[in-house]
A and B are shown apart, each in its own frame.
Chain A
Amino acid sequence: MRQRIAHVDDDPDIRDTVHHILSTHGYEVDSYQTAKDFIDSLSNPSIVPDLAILDVMVESMDAGLTTYVELHNRFPRMQAIFLTSLGDMILPYFENKSEKWIWIIEKPIEPSGLLSIVHDRLS
């Protein structure tokens, strides 16, 4: 069964790029424009992903961060990665959480780097 990955980003070019790279390597990718769309989709158990790739600034300054907190509470086993233009500048927001649970990839997307982290998180 193909592993399912949810990707949230308001930039269609980034969504398109991530979808292209991951689907080429056999992953089932669901792209969402807003964090709310993604959270709403979680009510359907058949499409709950194995991994979520989140942008930080989507519909608001910190929508990605609040989505992460909600995911962490509702689906503790679900892996999450931040894919953001701000890089590790968002780290101070996680001062009470271990860094190893917060994977941050700074944009632009570098295919081999993205694939390596996705593979690592899913295995």
Chain B
Amino acid sequence: MATADFSWNAPKQQFILAGGKESGQKLSDEILIDNIRWFTIFRWAVIGALILFQIVALIASDALTKLGIRNQQDWPLVLSVILSAANFAYIYALDFCQPSKFNSPSINIWVQIIVDLLCLSIVVHNVGSTTTPAPFFYILHIALACIFFSALEGLFVAIMVSAMYTIVLLIENQMFFQVSQSILIDPHFSNESLQKGRALVWMIALNTLFFIVWYVVSRLTLVVRKHEQYLRDAYEQINQAQIAKDQYAMLVTHQLKAPLDAIRSKINLIKGGYCGQVSSEIEEVLTKIDRRGHSMSNLILDVLKLERLKTAGRNNDAMEYIDISATIYKCIDKLKPVTTARNIEIKLSIQNFFARGIPDQIEILFENIIANAITYSYDDAAVDINSIVKLPDNSAILTISDHGIGIEAKDLPNIFNEYFYSPRAVMHNQSSSGIGLSLVKIAAVNNNLQLKVTSDPGLGTAFSVIFPNIRISAGES
């Protein structure tokens, strides 16, 4: 007995570009709302850090002073309260208030920026505006603004940052209109004037840095957005080309199949006795013509299905929880004419479950496996369909077994190849298109399913489909 497992790890070539509607400059409300939520979560982390800082300040204030950080008061706690209240207000405005002219995601995010910058300025003032790296945290705001907004809006943030830092330095060093007085009292370099000189250097250096960061990050963002736009356009073009290709494939299928359908309809008219009595010899010839026409029709339809399955790829948006038992019954119903004609009994023993997949692809998968089991069975035989649900790991195995001609071990690795014909299979069924199992393979890849094939030549074949992440009922996991 030969066994083969087939599992396909498709390369992650499917990509979805969010927000096809927004231009390169403006972000959609949807993305702004996502950013608001992200900023809010990030702010909770900052609030946590401030509380931690307050605790450290209470425990080891001397150590902080040695590090150049000013003597602490209760400002971290006050800021935590302000930022927490602001965070609740942002979420309340977003989730519990009707959107209006004054309550839009854009206004929400701008209020966040202004409040955050004010709070950061208080931190910079209290921690040390020229003695600690605290002012460098302004850069984070500029970078985020450049990434999430337009270059112009980023510039506004950079100007705001620059103004706030300048004001902090001016206030701390009493540089408002006091320089000349200071020079009059002490024309030499005093400690105070050294301090002011240092503040001036920091002011010029950091303000220059703020605008350099704005320029560099906004340039980079523009380049990234331009590429993103190219990708979005290319994705759109691919989608349109796929639609056009699909329509063309459908048109070709129709044009190829239509004449065959007309011929076979006429054959059915004669065989139905609508054109008078015909001899048994003629009827036999007509049956043979019809059989060949039927094979060709199937081949044409299978080629179209194969093309469509390849094009569809692994589309998570089209996936839903599918009633496997109902799908199996539907397939059996479709194949009833063949099972009846060959007196093949389908024995079902299924514990139902729901599996995630694309409905028509799962149907194609089962229809082909069951059709194969019937085709390669001997007349008057049985095809068994049973399922095993493994609750601990939420998986299920559905096995379709026949008692037919089986597959030789050397052919087993090739059975999913397109247009593969095994001589033994062709002897049993001359009308095989060689595509059926390729359809099964692509449907399995697209739906993240594994297949296991076990076969014994002369005794039969069992196809097992392994479903991960199943549900026992439609609504619950």
Contact = CB atoms under 8 A, between A and B. Distances in A.
A71 interface: no
B250 A13 contact: no
A85 B257 contact: yes
Interface in A66-110: 85-87, 89, 91-92, 107-110
A63 interface: no
B268 A109 contact: yes
Interface size class of A (residues with CB under 8 A): 20 to 34
A48 interface: no
Interface residues of B, number: 23
A112 B250 CA distance: 28
B262 interface: yes
Main secondary structure of the interface of B (DSSP, over half): helix
Given A11-B258, A20-B269, A21-B269, A108 B251 contact: no
A58 to B, nearest CB: 11
Given A21-B274, A92-B360, A111-B274, A11 B262 contact: yes
Contact of A89 (B250, B260, B263, B269): B250
B261 interface: yes
Nearest to B261: A107
Contacts, number: 65
B345 to A, nearest CB: 24
A61 interface: yes
Contact of A110 (B257, B263, B268, B301): B268
- Most A CB contacts (10 A, CB to CB) among B251, B257, B258, B360 go to B258
B301 to A, nearest CB: 7
Given A20-B274, A85-B257, A109 B250 contact: no
A17 interface: yes
A14 B274 contact: no
A114 B150 CA distance: 64
A89 B254 CA distance: 11
Given A61-B247, A87-B301, A92-B360, A17 B253 contact: no
B272 interface: yes
B252 to A, nearest CB: 11
Contacts of A109: 261, 265, 268-269
Nearest to B334: A88
A17 B269 contact: yes
A87 B301 CA distance: 10
Contacts of A107: 257-258, 261-262, 264-265
B266 interface: yes
Given A24-B274, A111-B274, A112-B272, A57 B254 contact: yes
A85 B258 contact: yes
A92 B250 CA distance: 14
Interface string B272-298: 101000000000000000000100000
A14 B301 contact: no
Contacts of B262: 11, 13-14, 17, 107-108
Given A14-B262, A107-B264, A109-B268, 20 more contacts: A11-B258, A13-B262, A17-B262, A17-B269, A20-B269, A20-B274, A21-B272, A21-B274, A61-B247, A86-B254, A89-B304, A108-B262, A108-B267, A109-B261, A109-B269, A111-B268, A111-B269, A111-B272, A111-B274, A112-B272
6 contacts: A17-B268, A91-B360, A108-B260, A108-B268, A111-B268, A111-B272
Interface of B: 247, 250-251, 253-254, 257-258, 260-269, 272, 274, 293, 301, 304, 360
> Which 6 residue pairs spanning A and B have beta carbons closest together?
A108-B264, A107-B261, A13-B262, A111-B272, A109-B265, A108-B265
